[in-house]
């Protein structure tokens, strides 16, 4: 099983601050997905990155896939309380059947 | 659109009891998955299915069994529940496996006492 390490595990910041969440592995993934999960709900897909070096933007969120397709980052600019939630990265194993999830980053944005 | 529906949403079991969790999807997806989520450990794959009549083991399959008799349904069974199986269980489905978006149910919170 390929492993994904996510950091930090917890992050508490003030509204308006910027933050970055990291997702790292020693393995190569076919693609990498980022999900956001709210309490009592299942994760919901934010973005999929496929190509090494790819950068995708979703409003104030910027996602990057490492050149070697072993790591990814999520950067949030000017965080808002509505960004509060659990952020999960998930890598698609080379078989294409399974996703490997990181441990998650619990983000709290205080007003 | 219902998407992925899990039943039940909550359950308390005594050690040694058995139960079945039901997952139903209405998106005609081939792939279905069962995960468990524990604090600080993300989502861990229990079993999955790549199509009707198929099942495969995931990362943490011990103590669980699954069946996919119909394409839209994926059942997760616990034959003899243990306290270590206290967790939140999520079912997911996707059109083309890990390369496409996974749609998740709302979860089942299971407590084994």
Taking only the tens place, the pLDDT of each residue in B61-110 is 999 999 999 999 999 999 999 999 999 999 999 998 888 899 999 999 99
Strand partners, A105: A87
In chain B, which residues have their Cβ closer than 8 Å to the Cβ of A97? 31, 48, 50, 56, 97-98
The predicted pLDDT at position A1 comes to 63
Flag whether pLDDT at B57 surpasses 70: yes
In percent, how much of chain A has pLDDT > 90?
92
In chain A, which residues have their Cβ closer than 8 Å to the Cβ of B108? none
Q: What are phi and psi of B42, to 5 degrees?
A: 60, -150
Residue A81: is it exposed, middle or buried by C-beta count within 10 angstroms (0-12/13-18/19+)? exposed
pLDDT bucket at B1, cuts 50 / 70 / 90: low
The predicted pLDDT at position B42 comes to 87
Conformation bin of residue B111: beta by default, left when phi > 0, alpha when psi is -120 to 50: beta
Flag whether pLDDT at A3 surpasses 90: no
Mean pLDDT value across residues B10-18: 97
The predicted pLDDT at position B84 comes to 97
d(CA A36, CA A63): 13
3-state secondary structure of B97: helix
The rounded Cα B89 to chain-centroid distance in angstroms is 6
The predicted pLDDT at position A94 comes to 81
The predicted pLDDT at position B88 comes to 97
What single string gives the DSSP state of each residue in B20-57? EEEEEESS--SEEEEEEE-TTS-EEEEEEESSTT--EE
Name the B residues in 64-103 with CB < 8 Å from any A CB. Answer: 90, 92, 96-99, 101-102
3-state secondary structure of A81: helix
């Amino acid at each position: 099983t390929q492993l994904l390490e996510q950091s930090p595990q917890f992050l508490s910041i003030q509204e308006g601050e910027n933050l970055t969440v990291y997702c790292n592995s020693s393995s190569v993934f076919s693609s990498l997905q980022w999900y956001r999960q709210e309490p009592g709900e299942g994760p919901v897909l934010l973005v999929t990155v496929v190509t090494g070096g790819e950068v995708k933007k979703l409003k104030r969120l910027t996602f990057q896939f490492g050149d070697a397709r072993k790591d990814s980052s999520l950067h949030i600019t000017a965080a808002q309380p509505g960004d509060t939630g659990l952020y999960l990265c998930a890598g698609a194993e080379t078989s294409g059947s399974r996703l490997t999830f990181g441990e998650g980053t619990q983000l709290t944005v205080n007003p | 659109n219902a998407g992925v529906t899990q039943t039940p949403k909550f359950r308390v079991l005594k050690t040694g009891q058995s139960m079945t969790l039901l997952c139903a999807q209405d998106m005609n997806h081939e792939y279905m998955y069962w995960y468990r989520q524990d604090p600080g450990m993300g989502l861990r794959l229990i079993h999955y299915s790549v199509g009707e009549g198929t099942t495969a083991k995931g990362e943490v399959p011990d103590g669980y069994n699954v069946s996919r008799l119909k394409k839209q349904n994926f059942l997760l069974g616990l034959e003899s529940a243990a306290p270590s199986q206290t967790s939140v269980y999520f079912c997911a489905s996707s059109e083309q496996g890990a390369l496409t978006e996974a749609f998740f149910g709302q979860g089942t919170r299971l407590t084994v006492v």
